[in-house]
Amino acid sequence: MINTKLLTIVVPIYNEEDCLCPLLERLQNVMRALPCKVEWLFVNDGSTDRSLAILKQMQREDTRVAIIDLSRNFGKERAMCAGIDYAKGDALVILDADLQDPPELIPRMLSEIENGYDDVYACRTVRKGETYFKCWSAKMYYRCLHYLSDIPIQEDTGDFRMLSSKAICALRRLDESERNMKGLFSYIGLKKKAIYYERDARVAGETKWSYSKLFDLAIKGLTSFSVLPLRFVSFMGCMVSLIAFVYLLVVVVKALLYGDPVAGYPSLMAVLLFLGGTIMLALGIMGEYLGIIYKESKHRPVYYINEYLPMRNEYSEPINPEKKGGIVS
Ligand code: UDP
Ligand code: MG
């Protein structure tokens, strides 16, 4: 006898028309082995291809399929937030549509949830089909974040994980709009368990994360989970002032003792450029934090839903999720 009655599988979808059929096939195979009922919650994140039409067709053929159609492309972090808010299950899995995360791990994750864990996350041992630079930069970034932030952030881990009802409730209570889910999964704490897997290449299509989007996510992660960069600015200010003071003494003493008042154009330029650079760097770091405060201060909804199509079976009574975004009607 297991405690999980209904498991929700949340899949964010952005232009994944070629992945949906293979995904459905793999999911159907896995679901046969599961000892509980399942809801497949697809969050269409403003796809411009045939993804939504395919999802609606899937829903006509399968009563387990639910669809959230967001009003535009909000990005994966917010699409996941919508999925977490509207999930009906007492546990949920977040799965990418491109089958880079093997659904075959779901039964193992469920058994760990049944053992009392709240967040069973999949840790990548190998990342196939991704460039060396992407793997290296991701590793370095998460290592940095791990050292800079006050909370332990898991390395080599994505969003592929199963969450217990306790973890789902904790995530629903967060209402910041600038989200870095990987950090938030760590932030909520609770009992975590890693399971290891080899990450496959995409079955079809291309990654939706350009380097500029990844950079944006990285900055959000750093500014949301650490104020150490601000402390670094203060430290840098102190160091530069100290060096400047010592240099001032040297110049004055030289002028008094040797009558050498002109320090020279090159040294003047070097000092000017160095100070200019450090001031710009300090302003840039402070500006990043200011930008986050500016965005958060507007309290805009995290997402808007154009249409919500719940699954058509005994669980389809209307629900009232703790809303971060409203249905536009
Ligand atoms: N995705 C999304 N909105 C976006 C970008 C991506 O919902 O703006 C979804 C995408 O459809 C996929 C998942 O997020 O299901 C992971 O995206 P992708 O495979 O492009 O990321 P990667 O695996 O390269 O990190
Ligand atoms: Mg992918």
pLDDT-based confidence at 258, cuts 50/70/90?
Answer: confident
Of the candidates 208, 202, 214, 211, the one whose C-alpha atom is nearest the C-alpha of residue 15 is 208
- Provide the whole-model pTM: 0.79
Determine the distance separating the centroid of ligand 1 and the alpha carbon of 13, expressed in angstroms. 7
* β-bridge mates for residue 122, sequence order: 195
The pLDDT, as a whole number, for residue 262 is 66
Residue 13 has which token pair?
């979808």
pLDDT-based confidence at 317, cuts 50/70/90?
Answer: low
Say whether 195 sits in a helix, a strand or coil: strand
Task: Flag the least confident range among 5-19, 109-123, 246-260.
Answer: 246-260
Residue 83 has which token pair?
């999925």
Query: What is the position in ligand 1's atom list of the atom closest to the CA of 14?
Result: 11
120-141 confidence digits (pLDDT tens): 998 888 777 677 777 787 778 8
- Pocket of ligand 1, candidates 208, 217, 220: which has the most ligand atoms within 8 Å of its Cβ, to mutate? 208
pLDDT-based confidence at 326, cuts 50/70/90?
Answer: low
Q: How many CB atoms lie within 10 A of CB 298?
A: 7
Residue 329 clears pLDDT 50, i.e. is over it: no
31-69 confidence digits (pLDDT tens): 887 888 889 999 999 999 899 999 999 888 888 899 999
188-211 confidence digits (pLDDT tens): 988 999 999 888 777 777 777 777
- Whole-angstrom distance, CA of residue 208 vs CA of residue 309: 25
Q: What are phi and psi of 9, to 5 degrees?
A: -110, 110
Q: Do residues 305 and 70 touch, judged by C-beta distance below 8 A?
A: yes
Helix, strand, coil percentages for the chain (3-state, nearest 5):
50, 15, 35
* β-bridge mates for residue 37, sequence order: 6
Residue 321 clears pLDDT 60, i.e. is over it: no
Residues with CB under 6 A from ligand 1: 12-14, 16, 45, 73, 75-76, 79, 96-98, 100, 207-209
Average predicted confidence (pLDDT) for the chain:
84
